[in-house]
Amino acid sequence: MRHNSRTVLPGFGLSLGITCTYLSLLVLIPLATVFTKTAELSGPAFWATVTDPRVVASYRVTFGASFVAALVNTVFGLLVAWVLVRYRFPGRRLVDAMVDLPFALPTAVAGIALTTLYVPNGWVGGYLEPLGIQVSYTWIGITVALIFIGLPFVVRTVQPVLDDLEVEVEEAAASLGARRWQTFTRVVFPTVAPALLTGFAMAFARAIGEYGSVVFISGNMPMKTEIVPLLIITKLEQYDYAGATAVALVMLVVSFLLLLTINLLQWVARRRLAV
């Protein structure tokens, strides 16, 4: 019997053409302009731009704070997802909706709100000031802002995996004599590890390019709390387009390599889980 391969959706050729055109207009062409504009610089000029002490300091602040924020979100994002999936309590739907608040809230509003809370005379900063802890206008404040905008990525990535993980599997491990920590490390964690890595990668990538929520709470002090996106905007305002794209190119390459490494780790984790 002849099988009819026609479907309601367009064929492979048309779908591939639309996909490539769409990605070219929105992703490939804009990224290509970064390379072409940076090519206006000579090799020594490019190296001098991207290794300038002020630029290197902004790399350190951006990547360091983003990495710490992503790690914190990985731990507490798993905890939040676990509570939302495993327990039923009053206000659960409200808590679940609040997780998505950073998605809907303009980042500038989040930055202003966090700065107001953590300044020395703020609601939270007022309690930290006597302890000698300053959050606003420091590296800590940048990390707090990045934690705020990155948490939903981890929670929403891990939550479906925990939904699919049957409680009976944990009960079976307990019936075989496994303790709670053994059940978590040998049953639960291997299952959610690929999703955790995905959430970490998404939170980390989001934090690297964040601007609105950080620019207010950081204080924007060169060599101390200046982030790379702000430095790029500063160069653009000074009409140093080649310098701005050079710094952006370094960010693009480093981000790509980090995401590639994380994807490889995810692939290894999935293969081990399949075995």
What pLDDT was estimated at residue 165? 78
Q: Which residue has the tokens 């206000």?
A: 91
Instruction: Show the domains of the chain with their CATH numbers.
Output: 41-274 (1.10.3720.10)
Does the pLDDT value for residue 146 go beyond 90? yes
What's the CA gap between 252 and 94, in Å, rounded?
A: 37
144: enclosing H helix or E strand: helix 139-164
What pLDDT was estimated at residue 73? 95
What pLDDT was estimated at residue 126? 86
Does the pLDDT value for residue 151 go beyond 70? yes
In angstroms, the Cα distances linking 5 to 1, 10, 14, 15, 150 are: 12, 12, 15, 15, 43
> For residue 192, which of 151, 168, 159 has the smallest C-alpha distance?
159
What pLDDT was estimated at residue 1? 47
Query: pTM of this prediction?
Result: 0.85
What pLDDT was estimated at residue 7? 59
Query: Quick count: other Cβ atoms within 10 Å of Cβ 209?
Result: 14
Roughly how many angstroms between the first and final C-alpha of the chain, as a whole number?
38
Structure token pair of residue 179: 């303790």
Q: Is the dihedral of CA 174, 179, 183, 186 positive or negative?
A: negative
Does the pLDDT value for residue 74 go beyond 90? yes
Write out pLDDT tens, residues 226-250: 999 999 999 989 898 999 999 999 9
What pLDDT was estimated at residue 274? 66
Are 247 and 50 contacting, i.e. CB atoms less than 8 angstroms apart?
yes
The packing angle between helices 241-274 and 189-208, to 10°, is 180
Query: Quick count: other Cβ atoms within 10 Å of Cβ 250?
Result: 18
Confidence of residue 76 (pLDDT cuts 50, 70, 90): very high
Write out pLDDT tens, residues 179-222: 777 777 777 788 888 888 889 988 998 899 888 889 889 888 88
| Mean of per-residue pLDDT scores for the chain | 86
What's the CA gap between 77 and 215, in Å, rounded?
A: 24
Mean pLDDT of 68-86: 93
Are 181 and 107 contacting, i.e. CB atoms less than 8 angstroms apart?
no
What's the CA gap between 149 and 119, in Å, rounded?
A: 19
- % pLDDT > 90, the chain: 32
What pLDDT was estimated at residue 231? 92
What's the CA gap between 99 and 6, in Å, rounded?
A: 42
> For residue 139, which of 203, 68, 209 has the smallest C-alpha distance?
68
Write out pLDDT tens, residues 40-61: 888 899 999 999 999 999 999 9
Write out pLDDT tens, residues 91-108: 889 999 999 988 888 888
Mean pLDDT of 242-263: 86
What's the CA gap between 119 and 101, in Å, rounded?
A: 22
